[in-house]
Amino acid sequence: MKRSYISFIVLALAISVCAQAPLSFKYQAYLRNADGTIRGSEFVTLQLKIVQGSVNGATVYTEVHNTSTNAHGLVSVTVGRGSTSSNMSAVQWGNGPYFLNIIVNGVNLGTTELLSVPFALYANESRDSFSGAYSDLTGTPTLARVATTGNYSDLINTPHLAAVATTGSYASLLNIPLTFVPSIHAHLEAEISDLAHYTDDSISGLEAVFTYWDKDTADDFDGSYLELTEVPLTFAPDVHTHAAIDITDLTNYTDDSIDGTEAAFIGWDMDVSNDFVGDMGGLGITNVADPVNPQDAATRAYVDASSGSFSGSYNDLTDVPALAPVVHAHVETDITDLAHYTDADIGGDETAFTAWDKNAADDFDGDYGSLTNAPAQIGDLGGNMGNALITNVLDPVSPQDAATRAYVDLLEARVAVLEGLVGTLITDLDALEAAVTALTARVTAHEIDYP
């Protein structure tokens, strides 16, 4: 008896958009003889081919199932789980249409087009396809150039700025007053806050209201101790009974003065080659607080506000300690400066200077690596910030830039929009699944005999 096979394909939706889709789908068929007799409980070899483009297109996937029909002639297999040398994951479901070719026991029963259900695999693929990059989004608004450059010159409709707004020059101002006439300067001293633009011809120095104005720089103190007048006599070296904390300046000492072996001067620095020479290399010292203590560094504002200059005379100094030039019986706190001492003044045998540092071997050499209990350098942290924040970061521009929280929050908002679109897609797929279920029922109810 000649046999023919009648197959009805039932595709069961086998994915969830919110989970990883299995690379398979269901196929069912009823097998009958040409006279309609059911071929129940019979072993069959079922070969399935997925064809791309048309019924006669290229075969992109092939598999074989050795299975049996049930008592009613129904055979049920899962496409994607049969014996195969192909790769279901290599099928590009977005490049359809695709067709399914059925061969039972070597008999080709024909090719039918695959409908929407297997393409849920493609929908699942697209769910995770967004790279997270703004440049990969579609339908993005057109941004003004300034939104990406941050350059003021890229703005449109900018106001017209006066020249002084960009030059910052006094000369760019309009309606500048005429040069002041020296003869009518009736302002009080407190009213004058800036005299930088005055010239020698503007003020003669005889104005009565500028009582403390110093216009003679020839007698200004240059900072040298040698320029002082009426300084006390040199201290007698044989009666130095002051403690080591009295000694603040030993710049006049030479190697011949102290040999470095005195036990009491263990930490004395005798190596000047690694000392800071005071050369700032043209750099300024900025953001200095107003001076409080006498030894504080003075700011320019503090100096400019001074009502007078030091005359250079020792007699004009205030709070000068009374020094006995012969017997030097002062307490330790009297000695604040030894810059005028000579090599012959101190022989290094003074027992009162117990803390005098004469050992240069243990002095700080200026190398960070020589410090003890030093904090770990940033490079040694291995990327561990120890729960500290990194603040004031610019928004990222290049792919390798650190992202700010604002940048991440913006991407999260865009992902939320995409999630809404995916939710709509899920609803549409649910409706499609219902339609396929209805179609399956109708196909089952109307079996078709193949000749």
Helix (H) or strand (E) holding 123: helix 120-127
Domain of residue 261, residue span: 219-374
Q: What is the pLDDT of residues 158-217, one digit of tens each?
A: 787 787 777 888 877 877 776 655 555 555 555 565 555 555 555 665 555 555 666 677
What pTM, to 2 d.p., does this model score?
0.29
Is pLDDT of 327 > 50?
no
pLDDT at 112 over 60: yes
Instruction: For residue 203, tell me if it sits in a domain.
Output: no
How many domains are there within the chain? 1
* The amino acid at 33: N
* 82-103 burial code (b ≥16 CB/10 A, e <16): beeebebeebebeeeebbbbbb
In a domain, 335, yes or no: yes
Looking at the domain assignment, is residue 439 inside a domain?
A: no
Cα 321-325-331 angle, rounded to 5 deg: 50
CA 422/CA 126 separation, integer angstroms: 10
User: Of 50-54, 286-290, 338-342, 424-428, which one has max mean pLDDT?
Assistant: 50-54
pLDDT at residue 103 is higher than 80: yes
Of residues 238 and 15, the one with the higher pLDDT is 238
The more confident residue out of 25 and 263 is 25
CA dist list (Å): 29 to 157, 433, 448: 72, 20, 11
Residue 290 lies in a domain: yes
Question: Mean pLDDT throughout 266-285?
Answer: 68
Q: What is the pLDDT of residues 426-441, one digit of tens each?
A: 888 888 888 888 888 8
pLDDT-based confidence at residue 54 (cuts at 50, 70, 90): very high
Residue 295 within a domain: yes
Domain assignment of residue 294, yes or no = yes
Is residue 275 included in any domain, yes or no?
A: yes
Of 308, 311, 309, 291, which is closest to residue 299 (Cα–Cα)? Answer: 291
Instruction: Express each pLDDT in 202-234 by its tens digit.
Output: 566 555 555 566 667 777 888 888 888 877 766
Give the pLDDT of residue 71. Answer: 92
Q: Is 87 a domain residue?
A: no
Q: What is the pLDDT of residues 132-144, one digit of tens each?
A: 677 777 888 887 8
Query: Model confidence at 330, in pLDDT bands (50, 70, 90)?
Result: very low
